[in-house]
């Protein structure tokens, strides 16, 4: 009986642990994807022309790495270019992406929530009768 448990535990460890994603908080600034891939800081003070040229925005962390945030609309991201932000969510190492639950912006040394997946889903349910991913 004991011998049956060992292969099962090994199997579950191999299958389940990599499938689990890491939930955490990530801090950095919102930058245009073209800026970070070219190794530049988006032009401070010239956000409007830069936003017109960019269509994808990423979170650039203090260590210089960048991460996609695919479930937050680019219009929301564009509002906070060059601002210190914190994104709570689940990280996917394969796609270098954060599935955001909440987005905060630093204002007056305090974090202010500017976006939430729960609020976004509620808006879809209230005005459209369901979320795009609910099948309704």
Tell me the per-residue pLDDT of 39-78, one tens digit each, with 9 for 90 and over.
877 777 766 676 778 889 999 999 989 999 999 999 999 9
The predicted pLDDT at position 122 comes to 85
In a domain, 54, yes or no: yes
In a domain, 16, yes or no: no
Structure tokens at 104: 């905060």
In a domain, 96, yes or no: yes
Rounded to 10 degrees, the C-alpha dihedral 73/78/84/87 comes to: 10
In a domain, 28, yes or no: yes
In a domain, 77, yes or no: yes
From the number of C-beta atoms within 10 Å of its C-beta (0-12, 13-18, 19+), residue 81 rates as buried
Share of the chain above pLDDT 70, in %: 75
In a domain, 3, yes or no: no
Q: Which residue range forms the structural domain that includes residue 29?
A: 21-128
Give the residue with greater pLDDT, 2 vs 74. Answer: 74
In a domain, 9, yes or no: no
CATH of the domain at 28: 2.40.50
Structurally, how many domains does the chain consist of? 1
In a domain, 6, yes or no: no
């Amino acid at each position: 009986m004991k011998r049956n448990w060992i292969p099962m535990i090994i199997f579950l460890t191999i299958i389940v642990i990599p499938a689990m994603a890491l939930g955490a908080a990530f801090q950095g600034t919102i930058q245009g994807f073209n800026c970070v891939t070219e190794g530049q800081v988006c032009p401070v003070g010239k956000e409007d022309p830069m936003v017109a040229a960019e269509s994808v925005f990423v979170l650039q962390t203090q260590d210089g790495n960048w991460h996609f945030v695919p479930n937050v609309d680019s219009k929301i991201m564009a509002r906070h270019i060059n601002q210190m932000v914190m994104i709570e969510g689940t990280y996917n190492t394969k796609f270098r992406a954060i599935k955001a639950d909440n987005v905060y912006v630093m204002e007056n040394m305090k974090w202010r929530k500017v976006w939430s997946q729960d609020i976004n889903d509620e808006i879809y349910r209230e005005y459209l009768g369901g979320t795009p991913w609910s099948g309704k």
